[in-house]
Chain A
Amino acid sequence: MQCKCCNREATNEYCGLHERAYANILRKFEIWKHAADLSWEQYLNEIVKNPFTGAWAKEVAERLLNNKE
């Protein structure tokens, strides 16, 4: 199976590198929700445009936004 973000080898949807970024996105959502009262989609938009978000986390967030349907 290939990673949905970078075509590297993956066991699930993502390779080891993007999996870690995905786990971070999930973990941080609760903090953002509590702090700024954001929905999941708003949160993803926020982290995509944030300059401190890492490249892999951005790639995963963009993919999650594009595949929300």
Chain B
Amino acid sequence: MEKYTLIITEKPSAAQRIAYALDQEGKPEKVEDKNVPYFLVKRDKPLIVVSALGHLYTVAHVGKGRNYYPAFHFKWVPRYLVEKNAKQVRLWIEVISKLAQNAEEFIDACDYDIEGSLIGYCLFKYACVNKQDIAKRMKFSTLTKKALEKSYSKPLPKLDFRLIEAGRTRHEVDWLYGINISRALTLAAKRWSGKYATLSTGRVQGPTLKFLVDREKSIRSFVPTPYWSIRATVDLKGTILEVEHEKKTFEKRADAEAVMRTCKGNTGQIERIEERRTQQKPPIPFDLGALQAEAYSLFGYSPRRTSSIAERLYLGALISYPRTSSQKLPSVIGYRAILRGLGKERAYKRLVSILLHVGELKPREGPKEDSAHPAVYPTGNTPDRSLSSSERRVWDLVVRRFMAVFGEPAIKQSMKATLNVNGHHFYLRGKRILKEGWMKFYKPYIRAKEVLLPPLKEGESMELKEVLCEDRFTKPLPRYNPSSMLKKMEEKGIGTKATRADIIETLYSRKYIAEERIVVSDLGFDIIDVLHRYCPGVISVKLTRELEEKMERIQAGNEEREKVLIDAVGILKPILEGLKQSEAVIGKALSEAVQRSRIQERLVGGCPTCHTGKLMVLYSRKTRKRFIGCTNYFKNICRTSFPLPQRGTVKPLHKPCTGCGWPTLIVQMKGRRPWTLCFNEGCPKKEERRKRLAMQMLQQRGNK
């Protein structure tokens, strides 16, 4: 068989795109071996493009059994050996190994970042048997034909071993932390209660949960402070406008009421009119964090969702590589060519033509740089398939932001008229945009509102129509949401752009946190309490950041992997000894927390019959069927019970029924849309529905 070059990508869709881009006729042959697809590409010399499925190798414990710690010995193994749901990884590795046997050249075309480099390295080292030293590296930021051709014709002569070392160390350190402390917690709880529950924490997970617990504590113990404000309106030639008192807040109710009495029903005079012009610079290009934050605030997408949408857009060659921390757009990406490409889309045609008429295109950039990739930008390609609405939205956001960074500053005018009413000053404020500048490119996503005032003159009189003294209270700090949490992690320098969103999702899946505006569960509180008492280092931001810095130094070639690992073990040893010594106390605290959390999950709401008990999802000992019952049943006080569907899952919704105010549940069954269940037989909504159905039946009979 003729020798060929083996190109390995990170995902199947990237393999397909690379194969189509590199084939001389643009028609590579797709072959499937054991259901693993790869592509035969015709060029000056034959190529085979095959993909991984993300990480095919992982860190695993050397030794048997899971019921002990510390576990400091590890090795890299195929994922199917340690993960239940990774059976297909075996086939993938077998096919790649087979393809490697006849290959004479090897090229790593995985994403150019820590994870991508590590995926490629593991495959060349283990699946292709020590080919990591002869493998070359394709480096690209977009999957467009032009970028792929260029990176194929000029590959880097070898893999980026510094990046790989940093990646390996990160995985190994995280494994050491995660496996040991999670095992310590899980085993402590299991040995105390005899029941198994997965309790996990990690190097980044612990400090992240700590931020949330601290915020939750401050919210739950918050006592508001009262203050008062004066709200008034004026009648300006028939238009009612709101004015604000010069003193925004009054600490004493009596003071505010005195002002209100003095001003009520009086007429004021405009003493002064001030106008101010301000320039608002264009926004800076998106890095991943900024894109996630903007998509959350505009569309409510979680950071993980935005990240996966952006990944799909990248694989579709519509945007550049999204996992970047750069806020720079170098000119080599070809601004004009991208704009010309975007101009083919009707929605952008007019905006693009404005920018193409600008003499020199210069983007506004932010300070952050990323040596591997520029900021997120559109490739200039237009979609070759129909995009889902969420993909369309994120793509539009990236396109408009890209155009906006080249725009001119916007000019805004703010106006403040000072009104004198019996010696008290009130301000009438207005603002308007004089020159749109960059805003015209980013229009749908601009939140600033204009307040237009009619023409005003100094000395003009106005009657105060309404003067109100409003009770106000200070508010607790806002709850974190997935987006603001991500920002906090970024600000504190913990985790990486690739892992932060997943860590937040893990906290949800472990039931340490719930809801979109994040609420910490009792289990979350207890985990942090235990860690704080017995191993505070694990939730320390300082320690995590120090490790992050060490890994950055490995990437820069200033630190050795072995030393960082030895340091990590040195830190872990005393922590684990401490945990072992207090195992009984920790086990008791955690078991009780798990039990409380399980009960909490089944609580539906207050009992509408006895008003003292709580309704709960229970299981009959005799029939094993589930039903809703009152907790006072066991005290022989209340015998309230309601039947439940026996198929699918039921979860308390913690929202009252809009018809009767009773607690509700959400029922999920395979193949059906989830629905909200009100178990009150006398609910007016149910009655309404019954009547409607009866009417429909009657009508149908009449028609027949």
Residues of A within 8 A of B (CB): 17-18, 20-21, 24-25, 27-28, 31-32, 34-37, 47, 50, 52-57
Residues of B within 8 A of A (CB): 217-227, 251-254, 473-476, 525
Given contacts A21-B221, A56-B220, 20 further A-B contacts (CB under 8 A): A18-B221, A20-B221, A21-B220, A21-B223, A27-B223, A32-B226, A34-B251, A34-B252, A36-B253, A37-B254, A50-B224, A50-B473, A52-B222, A52-B224, A52-B475, A53-B222, A53-B224, A54-B219, A54-B220, A57-B223
> Contact check: which of A17, A18, A24, A37 meets B223 at CB < 8 Å?
A24
Instruction: Provide the bound-state CA to CA distance between A32 and B225, in Å.
Output: 7
Collect the chain A residues with CB atoms within 8 Å of residue B223's CB: 21, 24-25, 27-28, 47, 53-54, 57
Collect the chain B residues with CB atoms within 8 Å of residue A17's CB: 217, 220-221, 525
- Known interface pairs A36-B253, A52-B474, A52-B475. Does A20 touch B217 (Cβ–Cβ under 8 Å)? yes
Instruction: Provide the bound-state CA to CA distance between A51 and B218, in Å.
Output: 15
Collect the chain B residues with CB atoms within 8 Å of residue A18's CB: 221
Are B226 and A24 in contact (CB-based, < 8 A)?
Answer: no
> Contact check: which of B220, B226, B475 meets A55 at CB < 8 Å?
B220
Instruction: Provide the bound-state CA to CA distance between A31 and B226, in Å.
Output: 8
CB proximity of B287 to chain A, nearest CB, Å? 35
Instruction: Provide the bound-state CA to CA distance between A56 and B227, in Å.
Output: 22
Instruction: Provide the bound-state CA to CA distance between A34 and B251, in Å.
Output: 9
Collect the chain A residues with CB atoms within 8 Å of residue B222's CB: 24, 52-54, 57
Instruction: Provide the bound-state CA to CA distance between A25 and B224, in Å.
Output: 9
Instruction: Provide the bound-state CA to CA distance between A36 and B474, in Å.
Output: 15
Collect the chain A residues with CB atoms within 8 Å of residue B473's CB: 50, 52
Q: Would you mind naming 29 contact pairs between A and B with Cβ atoms under 8 Å apart?
A: A17-B217, A17-B220, A18-B221, A20-B221, A21-B221, A24-B221, A24-B222, A28-B225, A32-B225, A34-B251, A35-B252, A36-B253, A37-B253, A37-B254, A47-B224, A52-B473, A52-B475, A52-B476, A53-B224, A54-B218, A54-B221, A54-B222, A54-B223, A54-B476, A55-B220, A57-B220, A57-B221, A57-B222, A57-B223
Judged by DSSP, the binding face of A is helix
Most-contacted residue by chain A among B220, B225, B254 (CB, 10 A): B220
Instruction: Provide the bound-state CA to CA distance between A18 and B225, in Å.
Output: 19
Nearest 8 CB-CB pairings of A with B:
A21-B221, A54-B222, A54-B220, A52-B224, A28-B223, A56-B220, A24-B223, A20-B221
Collect the chain A residues with CB atoms within 8 Å of residue B218's CB: 54
Instruction: Provide the bound-state CA to CA distance between A52 and B525, in Å.
Output: 21
Instruction: Provide the bound-state CA to CA distance between A57 and B252, in Å.
Output: 23
Which B-chain residue is minimally distant from A36 (CB atoms)? B253
Collect the chain A residues with CB atoms within 8 Å of residue B224's CB: 28, 47, 50, 52-53
Collect the chain A residues with CB atoms within 8 Å of residue B253's CB: 35-37
Instruction: Provide the bound-state CA to CA distance between A25 and B252, in Å.
Output: 19
Instruction: Provide the bound-state CA to CA distance between A20 and B214, in Å.
Output: 12
CB proximity of B207 to chain A, nearest CB, Å? 20
Instruction: Provide the bound-state CA to CA distance between A27 and B223, in Å.
Output: 9
Collect the chain A residues with CB atoms within 8 Å of residue B227's CB: 35
Which B-chain residue is minimally distant from A6 (CB atoms)? B522
Instruction: Provide the bound-state CA to CA distance between A21 and B218, in Å.
Output: 9
Collect the chain B residues with CB atoms within 8 Å of residue A27's CB: 223
Instruction: Provide the bound-state CA to CA distance between A23 and B221, in Å.
Output: 9
Instruction: Provide the bound-state CA to CA distance between A38 and B473, in Å.
Output: 15
Which B-chain residue is minimally distant from A61 (CB atoms)? B223
Collect the chain A residues with CB atoms within 8 Å of residue B251's CB: 34-35
